[in-house]
Structure 1
Amino acid sequence: MKSLFLKILLMRIHMRFFVFIMSLIATVFSLSVPYYQKEFLDGLLKNSVNISHEIIIFLLLIFGFSMLSQLSVFISKIFSYFEGSYIQKWLSHETYSKTLVLKADNPKKMSAGQALSVYATDVYTACTLIDDVIPNIISYILPILLAPVAIIIMTSINPMLIIVVILSILTLNCLMAIKQGKYFFHNKMFAAIRIGHVNEWLQNMRVIRMLGWTESLEKKIKYSRIKETNNRLAMVTNGSTMNSIGYSAPFFINIIAVFLLIKLEGNKISSGQIFSLLWIFGVLLTRPLRMLPIMLVSITDCYTSIKRVQNYWNQETEKDEVQMKNNNLENTNSEGCDLEIKNLSYKYEGKLLLDNISIVINKNEFVAIIGEVGSGKSLILQALLKIISSECENYKINNESTENMDLNKLRSYFSYVPQDIFIVNSNLRDNVAFEYDYQKNNDNEIIKCLEMSQFNFQTENIKLGLNTEIGERGVNLSGGQKQRVAIARACYANCPIILLDDCLSALDVNTEEKINESLLNGHWKNKTRILATHRLSILPKCDRVLFIKNGKIVENGKFYEIYERSNYVRDFVSTLSE
């Protein structure tokens, strides 16, 4: 990928040029102020200025150039701010779009804490390159470059020694700024690691406390915090030294400039010349000399943030051409679909997890996939959804190839209940509809789906009905309740193909039987159903059962048929029955 830093820098280049021109105009106006101050003072002391007329003209010129300089700076800042907002909107949209298509099985995928840091910190910092850092660097460099010209015009002294001193001070401060930039980079890296640990702790607090891992994780967080604090202390010390040099430099340069002027002019030196030098180095260049090295730190900070954003973008995606819009299924018929996949294979970190699997599932068929833990049951469902980067010779839905099918369209055929159930931090209605602030017009349909999923308000002690707040990650629900909410969500989605990944594991046999009667072989009888499970009691009620072992389908047929003929299946069943 082309450097994102350069892309941001050169995006809408005409606006960068406009900001440069406005900064140049502001600098020229600023340098005009000491010139007219010099002329005014020299004329006043020589009694060559008409008190009633020329003094007013000089003062108006000084005031006018000062105001025009500030106005130019203001216009430059306003345009830079709007450009920064444009870049932030673009970066945020692109980052969000990439997030939606990141591959779930990428071993180098960033952690949740690192991704959060990219969103919360790096996108914003990247935008400051345009709305703050670049405009400031331009406004600081131009006065330093043009000041020697102004000195020659106003004093006729050779500014080379002054230039050497300025460059020496800037070089020293810039070297410290490079060091400061490294501190900034490490600070963000340590902060991202710490946020990742804290995020892990907050998301799994219950389990961590139950298993007695609290002290271990606290030490981990504390250690990362100590490293971050030590780095911050070094960063503050280095920054304070830079500030001290930056603040004292103008006074030191002033002394040298006045000394050179006295050596050159002797008794011919004028008050206007001294005042103009003091103004240039004591007022005009004070901020540039102090802030330019800090801006170098800022540009390094922006670069590292942009690099982190680019690294986030460079993660493997499911499909580059995925469009980020809601595509409705072209065939609005919600009845089941035929499904065929041929020679499906999947490797992860060099290990073959799915090995030439071929499946044909007929319309409205109920198929169960069984096998030992880690045999590849869930991977088959994920491959059908193209969540993982598997390979196959052919994959068809309703006899239509999915090779060039838009990913949104493909997934719109499926309702999916995963093992790790996602619960929205909202009310029950929003969780079933899977949409925040969902309209109440369809409450009857939502309640019907919940009831068919055996989630009853009275028996579950849900006093506020669909308005009941579930809490973050379903903290107020048991494992079985979460599964039933997820099943109700799949029911409400009303898609042609239902994928169920071990969604009965937390349910008792009685509840399982009721869900089978109301949904699996009831309301969903006109849909294609694929269930990955370890529950033996549901298998006789399936049209077919696939037994998978070491990533291969070794048996396919009615449950009692494959049980009779296969030692693998009998061993598997006996293991579950123990």
Structure 2
Amino acid sequence: MKELQYLNKYFVKYKIRFLTGILITIVAQIFYLYTPKLISNSIASIENYIKNSETVDVYFVQSQLIKNILLIIATTLLAGLLTFLMRQTLIVMSRLIEFDLKNEVFVQYTRLSQQFYKQNRTGDLMNRISEDVGKVRMYVGPAVMYTINTFIRFAIVIGYMYAVSPRLTLYTLLPLPILSYAIFKLSTEINKRSTFFQQNLSNLSSFSQELFSGLRVVKAYALEKKQQQKVIALSAESKTKAMELAKSNALFGPLMIALIGFSNLIVIYFGGLMYINQSGGIMHIGQIAEFILYVNMLTWPVASLGWVSSMVQEAAASQKRINEFLKIESELKSGDQSLKEVHGAFIFDHVSYRYEDTNIQALSELNFEVKSGETLAIFGKTGSGKSTLLNLIARLDDADTGSIKMDTINIKDYNLQELRSQIGFVPQDAFLFSDTIANNIRFGNELASEEEIVQAAKMAAVHENIENFAQQYETVLGERGITLSGGQKQRVSLARALLKNSPILVFDDCLSAVDTETEEEILDNLKKFSQNRTTFIVSHRVSSAKNADKILVLEDGKMIQFGTPEELLAQNGYYRELYLKQLSEKESA
């Protein structure tokens, strides 16, 4: 139960529902458990009439039986209504807790850095927010409800039984220590097997998610059978874990019923002896029947102990997996400095960054300045640290040493959400959602009108392509925008950033899949759009830097050149060589 203590805050939050549910349960059990007493009285009346038929009025006995029958019907209906209200109170509470917990897990996922997602697989993350939270809901809902119901019923039944015959009550409850020991042993085993099952289910979900995402690659390499064999192997392992868990769960029901049956035999035997001897409080047969009804009324609560215990153990295993993520502290801490007016002047002061997972030094001692409204083009070979530099600007990662200042203030001091809201970011790998093209562009500005969406698409030179689609802007894209070409995805992603209308623009090689003619059109549009906006452009084409105020060249994370295009062309170095090479290729073409 240690891991499940995390959920206590939700019971406090919904304490009115919780306490109301407990109160309704108590009242329902009082009505429900009044039936055996009425049956006992009815049998006692019949027994008394049989023994004393000459002195007892038969009509009086009939009226007593009819009265008892009506009372049984009334109490049963009331108990049924209250049980319905109990479920409406406690089960609805569990759904509310499930809603809150899923939101809490999701918010935590959004807080965590990119490093976290490099170390954890998507399938596992999805399994924890769906399957694991579902297991936890079964604890806060049915498990809690049946536990309360069981304890209240036990308390009331034992009270009723004790009032009739303390000695027979003691005999009836003799099997309970055996029951408690069995529950303890089985619960421990279920907890262990449930943890193994959930871990294996996460592995299967992760593999399936990756397989579906990379299905085109699998088909291209004709590896369907090999991947199918892996799925079969993982599924077989999952089945084995599930069967092991099911075997443990299956032991509870028969064990509980056997113990209840044994209690019934005890009641019949010892109750019969007490009735014969007129001792131990058993004075008529109706009291034995009353005891048997009480014992059988405990059948479901006692049997449910196994089910409840199983749910609690599974929930504990799942909550432990959830807590592992909820307890992770993000390396990215939000500051409390608000952004009132953004000019976009950046200063990099001895900035260095090393990737924790690979230990690669991505950036080393960067020192440069970009003034407000300037455009900086960043060049360098693959792996030189260009994308890492842009990630630091948007605070997707934080520098290990040194500082990045925007408008003279360290960006770590700014409110994280406010900082990112001022940046229009186009990543190297354009990501589109399984939604309409219009909504994918609108992702940058939810309040944008259709005219603004079209204008952004025109600036990104993708409007004509969209117009040629059958549904135009209402065309629903496949997963990750798979129905579009690479160049179209990049341009839709660019339109999204332009629609955001941010004072800072960050473009990470976002025109690599675009032909040179379209690139020229986009760059001309960007020149007009980026006036008075600080812009960072990563590219491998010198043509992308034609409107740049400054150029930065990186090599192995170090700055080897920095200056205006004219200054760098006058120097012998990487930029001049790249410029002359691409100019020669263009002329020969």
What band does the TM-score fall into relative to the shorter chain? 0.7 to 0.9
Which whole-Å CA distance do the structure 1 matches of 2:103 and 2:167 have between them?
A: 55
Superposed, 1:275-286 pairs within 5 Å as: 275-282=289-296, 284-286=297-299
User: Which residue of 129, 138, 142 corresponds with 2:148?
Assistant: 138
Q: CA deviation at 1:29?
A: 3.6
Name the residue aligned to 2:98. Answer: 88
TM-score w.r.t. the length of structure 1 is 0.88
Q: CA deviation at 1:73?
A: 3.0
Name the residue aligned to 1:244. Answer: 254
Which whole-Å CA distance do the structure 2 matches of 1:162 and 1:425 have between them?
A: 62
Name the residue aligned to 2:435. Answer: 426
Name the residue aligned to 1:106. Answer: 116
Which whole-Å CA distance do the structure 1 matches of 2:241 and 2:409 have between them?
A: 58
User: Which residue of 257, 263, 273 corresponds with 1:253?
Assistant: 263
Superposed, 1:164-563 pairs within 5 Å as: 164-266=174-276, 268=278, 270-282=284-296, 284-317=297-330, 319=332, 330-331=340-341, 337-349=344-356, 350-391=359-400, 393-434=402-443, 442-457=449-464, 461-519=468-526, 521-539=527-545, 541-559=547-565, 561-562=567-568
Which whole-Å CA distance do the structure 2 matches of 1:239 and 1:431 have between them?
A: 47
Q: Is the 8 A contact 1:133 1:298 kept in 2?
A: yes
Which whole-Å CA distance do the structure 1 matches of 2:465 and 2:17 have between them?
A: 63
Cα 1:430–1:68 change in 2 (3 A) is closer
Name the residue aligned to 1:38. Answer: 40
Q: Secondary structure at the match of 1:46?
A: helix
Which whole-Å CA distance do the structure 2 matches of 1:129 and 1:199 have between them?
A: 28
Q: CA deviation at 1:409?
A: 1.5
Q: CA deviation at 1:565?
A: 4.0
Name the residue aligned to 1:153. Answer: 163
Q: CA deviation at 1:198?
A: 1.0
Cα 1:411–1:137 change in 2 (3 A) is same
Coordinate RMSD, CA, aligned = 3.3
Q: Which amino acid aligns with 1:424?
A: F
Which whole-Å CA distance do the structure 2 matches of 1:524 and 1:565 have between them?
A: 28
* Structure 1: 5+ residue stretches without partners: none
Q: CA deviation at 1:478?
A: 0.9
Q: Which amino acid aligns with 2:353?
A: Y
Which whole-Å CA distance do the structure 1 matches of 2:554 and 2:407 have between them?
A: 25
TM-score w.r.t. the length of structure 2 is 0.86
Cα 1:23–1:461 change in 2 (3 A) is closer
Q: Which amino acid aligns with 2:327?
A: N
CA displacement 1:140-169 (0-9 Å, x = unmatched) = 133334434433322453433432313313
Q: Is the 8 A contact 2:335 2:414 kept in 1?
A: no
Q: CA deviation at 1:292?
A: 0.7
Q: Which moved more, 1:157-166 or 1:1-10?
A: 1-10
Which whole-Å CA distance do the structure 2 matches of 1:543 and 1:53 have between them?
A: 104
Identity of aligned residues (%): 22
Which whole-Å CA distance do the structure 2 matches of 1:310 and 1:299 have between them?
A: 16
Which whole-Å CA distance do the structure 2 matches of 1:442 and 1:27 have between them?
A: 59
Cα 1:24–1:209 change in 2 (3 A) is same
Q: Is the 8 A contact 1:342 1:357 kept in 2?
A: yes
Which whole-Å CA distance do the structure 1 matches of 2:328 and 2:216 have between them?
A: 31
Q: Which amino acid aligns with 1:273?
A: Q
Q: Secondary structure at the match of 2:114?
A: coil
Q: Which moved more, 1:224-233 or 1:542-551?
A: 542-551
Which whole-Å CA distance do the structure 1 matches of 2:387 and 2:176 have between them?
A: 66
Q: Secondary structure at the match of 2:431?
A: coil
CA displacement 1:261-314 (0-9 Å, x = unmatched) = 2233435463202211221122x1110121111100111122223223322323
CA displacement 1:67-121 (0-9 Å, x = unmatched) = 4444443333222133223323322332232232221122675321122223322
Q: Is the 8 A contact 1:498 1:527 kept in 2?
A: yes
Which whole-Å CA distance do the structure 1 matches of 2:109 and 2:172 have between them?
A: 53
Which whole-Å CA distance do the structure 2 matches of 1:79 and 1:553 have between them?
A: 64
Q: Which amino acid aligns with 1:344?
A: V
* Structure 2: 5+ residue stretches without partners: 50-55
Q: Is the 8 A contact 1:19 1:79 kept in 2?
A: yes
Name the residue aligned to 1:78. Answer: 88
Cα 1:304–1:6 change in 2 (3 A) is farther
Q: Secondary structure at the match of 1:554?
A: strand
CA displacement 1:466-519 (0-9 Å, x = unmatched) = 233333211111111111111222222221111010112112222222222222
Q: Secondary structure at the match of 1:367?
A: strand
Q: Which amino acid aligns with 1:341?
A: F
Q: Which moved more, 1:26-35 or 1:497-506?
A: 26-35
Which whole-Å CA distance do the structure 2 matches of 1:46 and 1:449 have between them?
A: 93
Q: 4+ residue stretches of structure 1 with deviation over 6 A?
A: 570-578
Q: Which moved more, 1:452-461 or 1:473-482?
A: 452-461
Which whole-Å CA distance do the structure 1 matches of 2:469 and 2:40 have between them?
A: 83
Q: Secondary structure at the match of 2:350?
A: strand
Q: Which moved more, 1:288-297 or 1:87-96?
A: 87-96
Q: Secondary structure at the match of 2:251?
A: helix
Cα 1:11–1:575 change in 2 (3 A) is farther
Q: Which amino acid aligns with 2:407?
A: N
Q: Is the 8 A contact 1:141 1:292 kept in 2?
A: no
Q: Is the 8 A contact 1:372 1:572 kept in 2?
A: no
